[in-house]
Amino acid sequence: MDKLVSLCKRRGFIFQSSEVYGGLNSCYDYGPMGVELKNNIKSCWWRAMTYHHDNIEGVDASILMHPRVWEASGHVAGFTDPLVDCKACKARFRADHVATSQCPRKPSKAPGEHHECKLTEPRLFNLMFKTFMGPVEDQAAVVFLRPETAQGIFVNFLNVVNSSRQKLPFGIAQIGKAFRNEVTPGNFIFRTREFEQMEMQFFVRPGEDEEWFEKWRAERLAWHQEIGIRPEKLRWHPHGPSELAHYAKAAFDVEYEFPFGWQEIEGIHNRTDFDLARHQEYSGKRLSYFDEARKEHYVPYVIETSVGCDRVLLTTLVDAYHEEQAGEEVRVVLRLSPKIAPIKAAILPLVKKDGLPEIAAGITKDLMRDHRVFYDDVASVGKRYRRQDEVGTPYCITVDSQTLVDQTVTVRERDTMAQERIAATALREYLAARVRFD
Ligand code: ATP
């Protein structure tokens, strides 16, 4: 992980937030490469959900919501983690993570195992961030930063039904920030207090929920593979009765094998009619659906797919990071899928003379209308290749003296380092066929 964290900083993927002030714990900023990668991941998810399903609509709800939303959803009463303090070293741990955490005094032991440890009994700690709306900091103005994006979908259920005229089964998708005052954030961007979620709530007739749960499970696992994650690094973790959230009838996590162990990257939940029924009860507004074919009203069941964008981004980086011997040197290469790679192609004039830079600049200008590409004429071509390998650029296009003769260029593929000559005029098509998310 240390090598990856340092590459992320050096090559402009991820920086510590407010670094010049010493940083802010668990908060991170995405740099030029990071923001491209993140946008590409979001776009792959959005396309997979909304473009590829004509029965899924999108929304973008506000982060601040009516405080009653969080009473109805159960978050005010129950969105808590059990917290234990160590009175000896003042560290705090999530009670359910103690066994896998490190004692700050003796990292080879778990908290409580060192003879000086003095762990308290677990006490519940609400993870929601509170803030105040308006100028007066009194109780009436307390609002929360949303701890999940899902509730913005539930409270808009009828608005979407009425405006889009969708019929069940149908879904609503959303990408947005969520905030949790995590007891123990860590492992770089794996667990942070501010993060982005990509969630989809699929509304179905009660009784059809189990079938849809299985369909979404299969589809979501396939998506992780489609964006390039190695299948052998992914597995399912079914939730046992003690792990199930208060709203869930069934839940499966997609887990990835990180250097720090198998961890959840996405949850698929059968939320039943819990959320809509609770909002109906707390708001006093009817939130049922009229099934015209059956001539009956009912509160739909919900299958939820919930994935953290930052966690997927970390997964793609961990999965892609490779070091390999290339001649005398160790080559660091990010084998990112071309669909999500921040830069799709680098355009490199072999030398800075004979009109080659002008031709390369012309190719860059032509390609940049469709893709994020990068022109580089500094240092030897070998060094330029290495720089692109490190940020995962799948194709390097080199303009050389042969280009002057027959208007062809070489295209070097990142993973195999194989080179082929193609006509410069064929580049747009060549790239489009390889980097598109279909
Ligand atoms: P955990 O048990 O790890 O705290 P959770 O089961 O509470 O996670 P969910 O509420 O199911 O997580 O959230 C759905 C997804 O949102 C997770 O699979 C993860 O990808 C992402 N996520 C949740 N909490 C965080 C966080 N603190 N930082 C980054 N991503 C998060």
- Written as one string, the DSSP assignment of 63-87 is SB--HHHHHHTTHHHH-EEEEEEBT
- Strands 301-308 and 261-272 come out as antiparallel
Average pLDDT over residues 194-198: 98
Sign of CA dihedral 107, 112, 116, 118: positive
**Atom 8, ligand 1: which residue's CA is nearest?**
264
Give the residue among 314, 320, 32 at the shortest CA–CA distance from 189: 314
**Is the distance from the beta carbon of residue 75 to the nearest atom of ligand 1 less than 6 Å?**
no
From ligand 1's centre to the CA of 405, what distance in Å? 56
Q: How far is CA 202 from CA 55, 175, 277, 389, 422, in A?
A: 9, 15, 15, 39, 46
Supply the residue whose CA is at minimum distance from atom 24 of ligand 1. Answer: 191
Asked if residue 134 has pLDDT above 90, the reply is: no
Out of 61-75, 106-120, 254-268, 406-420, pick the least confident: 106-120
Instruction: Identify the CA nearest to 333 among candidates 385, 258, 259, 398.
Output: 385
Q: Which pLDDT score is estimated for 437?
A: 77
What's the CA-to-centroid distance between 75 and ligand 1, angstroms?
A: 15
| Ligand 1 lined by 147 (C-beta under 6 Å) | no
Model confidence pLDDT, tens digit, residues 305-328: 999 999 999 999 999 999 999 888
Residue 5 burial (CB count, 10 A): 15
For residue 139, the model assigns a pLDDT of 67
Question: What share of the chain in percent tops pLDDT 70?
Answer: 100
Residue among 311, 314, 316 whose CB has most ligand 1 atoms within 8 A, to mutate: 311
Ligand 1 centre from 343 Cα, in Å?
28
CA–CA dist 352, 379 (Å, integer) = 10
308 C-alpha to ligand 1 centroid (Å): 7
Using most ligand atoms within 8 A of CB, pick from 195, 196, 265 the residue to mutate for ligand 1.
195
Q: Determine if ligand 1 sits within 6 Å of the CB of residue 182.
A: yes
Confidence check: pLDDT of 193 > 70: yes
- The model's pLDDT over 81-111, given as tens digits with 9 standing for 90+, comes to 888 989 888 888 888 888 888 888 888 888 9
Q: With a 6 A CB cut-off, is 265 part of the ligand 1 pocket?
A: yes
Between the CA of 346 and the centroid of ligand 1 the distance, in Å, is: 35
In which band, very low, low, confident or very high, does the pLDDT at 62 lie, cut at 50, 70 and 90?
very high
Residue 80: band (very low, low, confident or very high) from pLDDT cuts 50, 70, 90: confident
Residues with Cβ within 8 Å of residue 261, at least 6 apart in sequence = 100
Is ligand 1 within 6 A of the CB of residue 179?
Answer: no
Could you tell me which of 412, 3, 30, 243 has the C-alpha nearest to residue 253? 243
Q: Give the residue from 204, 171, 200, 173 showing the smallest Cα distance to 291.
A: 204
33-57 pLDDT per residue, tens: 999 999 999 999 999 999 999 999 9
Q: How far, in Å, is the centroid of ligand 1 from the Cα of 191? A: 8
- 225-281 tens-digit pLDDT: 999 999 999 999 999 988 888 788 999 999 999 999 999 999 999 999 999 999 999
Ligand 1 pocket, residue 315 CB under 6 Å: no
Give the position of tokens 């609400």.
Answer: 126
CA neighbor of 351 nearest in space, from 402, 414, 285 = 402
Tokens for 315, please give them: 């997964």
Q: Looking at ligand 1, which residue's alpha carbon is closest to its atom 31?
A: 308
Q: Provide the 3-class DSSP secondary structure of residue 382.
A: helix
Burial class (CB in 10 A: 0-12, 13-18, 19+), 122: middle
79 lines ligand 1 (CB under 6 A): no
Q: Whose CA is nearest to atom 22 of ligand 1?
A: 308
- Residue 266 CA to residue 254 CA, distance in Å, equals 5
* Ligand 1 center from residue 49 Cα (angstroms): 20
Pocket lining: 307 vs ligand 1, CB cutoff 6 Å: yes
**In angstroms, rounded to a whole number, what is the distance separating the alpha carbons of residues 144 and 307?**
21
Q: Whose CA is nearest to atom 2 of ligand 1?
A: 264
The mean of the pLDDT values for the chain is 94
What separation in Å is there between the alpha carbon of 81 and the centre of ligand 1? Answer: 13
Q: What is the mean pLDDT of residues 153-182?
A: 96
SS3 label, residue 117: coil
